[in-house]
Chain A
Amino acid sequence: AQKVTQAQTEISVVEKEDVTLDCVYETRDTTYYLFWYKQPPSGELVFLIRRNSFDEQNEISGRYSWNFQKSTSSFNFTITASQVVDSAVYFCALSDFQTGANNLFFGTGTRLTVIP
């Protein structure tokens, strides 16, 4: 069965600090996709990144970076030099390769608060 665990329920940081959001997943599939979505106070989930299980390269996009480690089943997300606008709930999600994102399994989310 698919499962995503985000053990950090809430994190608070002071602006400009770096913060890492943890994501651990479980799947019996050998090929799968991992996602991160951001849910700001407005409620609309915003796509951040998609990674397939074949590609273990880390990725950087501006202040965001992602560390995918298949050996530990983790897909962690780091925000560098956090800003107040980063305050949101962040969800990690998993889907199997065959059905793509027809059925995304989401974690329970991590609420990030960036204090000015």
Chain B
Amino acid sequence: DTGVSQDPRHKITKRGQNVTFRCDPISEHNRLYWYRQTLGQGPEFLTYFQNEAQLEKSRLLSDRFSAERPKGSFSTLEIQRTEQGDSAMYLCASSLRGDSGANVLTFGAGSRLTVL
């Protein structure tokens, strides 16, 4: 397994357009997370899935954002009607739920979105 893969790595779009990012987690990991990172800041939690169920969503995730993980494997994050404030790096991570309850997240390299 080569780790967490994200596609595309870079996306430039015009304001108002829709964009979709894909994340392929480590195959045996049952948890998948989306984070957003803006310049000079640490990553901020957006949402996470356990298998195909979306179990938690941040208040940062506005109605224009939707995430899916239909078969409990890859996930997509769609942003509708993009705004300039959506420009950021979107990070995906995966983990295996352990008995200790404290998961170590393995991150992908991220998808950088620029909204013009």
Contacts and interface: CB of A to CB of B under 8 A. Distances in A.
Interface of A: 4, 33, 35, 37, 42-47, 50, 52, 91, 93, 95, 97-109
B45 A97 contact: no
B111 to A, nearest CB: 10
B45 A47 contact: no
Nearest to B91: A45
Interface string B98-116: 1011111111111000000
Interface string B71-107: 0000000000000000001010101011011111111
Interface residues of B, number: 30
Contacts of A33: 102
Given A43-B89, A43-B110, A106 B102 contact: no
Nearest to B48: A102
Interface of B: 31, 33, 35, 40-45, 48, 55-56, 58, 89, 91, 93, 95, 97-98, 100-110
B20 to A, nearest CB: 20
Given A43-B110, A44-B108, A101 B103 contact: yes
Given A43-B89, A44-B109, A102 B56 contact: yes
B105 A44 contact: no
Contact of B42 (A97, A101, A109): A109
A42 B108 CA distance: 10
Given A43-B110, A44-B110, A101 B40 contact: no
